[in-house]
Amino acid sequence: MERMPLGISRLDRMIGGGAPTGSVVLLAGEPGAGAREFCYTSAAMTGLIGADPELFDLYYGDLEPGTTVPDDVHYVSFTDERSAVVTEMEFVMDDELVRTGMDDVTYVEFAEEYFQLTPVPTDWYAESMADITELGSHNDRTDVLEALGEYLTDHAADSVVVIDSVTDLVAAADDRLGWSDLTVLLKGLKRASHRWGGLILLLVNSELLEQTELGRLKEATDGTLLFEWESGGSERARTLVVEQFRGVLSRLEDEDIVRFETEIHDGGFDISNVRKIR
């Protein structure tokens, strides 16, 4: 089974080099529990593979033998500009890692498609007057789900794609898109991704979802990583649990691994400890 690195070195090594190629992975987390930092680290670290192999080796180490390296790395946002995301990433990780890694990442935002049917003033999300005058063509052409689908069709093959975040689509689904449209798109994405052979990460804030909604998102993906806060005495710890995940969960179960303790440092998101069945 071919594997593509998630960009989290200790996790990748434990699961044989990364996630199976063709996987759609849901990253569902409580605020601050590490899901967003996981996305940031995955984007910057996989971007670093092509941008600066020496710096990649410094922060990540050696790739596992036989690991498939992505052709490209894409970061998709519906509401945030590249500069805002990069600035937030630099709060989390070393500046050099972020700048160098993100230089090799294609950043795309669908703010116009996302906001165009809302009361948000056009000049809040359009970059220039040219964008404002051309908005009519966007209205005629596509909505945000269609725009996302078209982009993935053209660019997702053999690539790592980080989608930040499905929470925005969930909010839009409540108002104007329809929840069924979103879940059907994700089920279709799961089917297509198996042919494309890349890796797609979907970030979502689990606190904003009903259990049935989260369950439908899990059903529409190949695997789920749950990021949670765990309290012990006077301290709180970030933890990661791997739920249903083809080609990954079985390896962890063979090692009796039930939960990871995690941390965030200059190198980004990382595994700090492994909880095993006693």
What the block records as the tokens of 256 is 């009796």
Residue bearing tokens 């190949």: 222
Instruction: Examine residue 253 and state whether it is found in any structural domain, yes or no.
Output: no
Does residue 91 fall inside a structural domain?
Answer: yes
Provide the edge-to-edge strand list for the sheet that holds 23-29. 105-109, 73-77, 160-164, 199-205, 23-29, 223-232, 235-245, 257-265, 268-276
201-229 burial, b if ≥16 CB within 10 A, otherwise e? bbbbbbeebeeebbebbbebbbbbbbbbe
Query: At what angle are helices 95-103 and 82-92 packed, to 10 degrees?
Result: 140
For tokens 């660019």, what's the residue?
155
Q: Which residues of 130-169 are buried (b: 16+ CB within 10 A; e: fewer)?
A: eeeeebeebeeeebbbebbbebbeebbbbbbbbbbbbbbb
- Classify residue 180: in a domain, yes or no: yes
CA distances from 214 to 65, 94, 241 (A): 35, 33, 15
Give me the CATH number covering residue 138: 3.40.50.300
CB contact set of 233 (below 8 Å; sequence gap of 6+):
none
The pLDDT tens digits for 109-161 are 998 888 876 667 777 777 643 443 344 444 433 588 889 999 999 999 999 99
Look at strands 73-77 and 160-164 and give their pairing.
Answer: parallel
Q: Is 240 a member of any domain? A: no
**Residue 95 · residue 182 · CB < 8 Å:** no
Instruction: Indicate the range of 7-16, 27-36, 171-180, 216-225 predicted with least confidence.
Output: 171-180
Instruction: Say if CB 236 and CB 230 are below 8 A apart.
Output: yes
CA distance 174 to 164: 18
Domain count, the chain: 1
> pTM (2 decimals)?
0.91
Domain that holds residue 154: 3-230
260 in a domain, yes or no?
no
Residue 241 lies in a domain: no
* pLDDT, mean of residues 42-62: 96
> pLDDT digit string (tens) for 68-112?
999 999 999 999 999 999 999 999 999 999 999 999 999 999 988
pLDDT category of residue 236 using cuts at 50, 70 and 90: confident
Length of the chain: 278
Of 244 and 35, the structure prediction assigns the larger pLDDT to: 35
Q: What is the mean pLDDT of residues 49-65?
A: 95
Q: What pLDDT shows up at residue 141?
A: 38
Asked whether residue 175 is assigned to any structural domain, the reply reads: yes
Lowest mean pLDDT, pick from 59-63, 172-176, 260-264: 172-176
Q: CB–CB of 41/8 below 8 Å?
A: yes
Distance of CA 57 to the CA centre of its chain: 22
Cβ 74 vs Cβ 163: under 8 Å: no
Question: Is 226 within a domain?
Answer: yes
Angle between helices 35-51 and 95-103 (to 10 degrees): 60
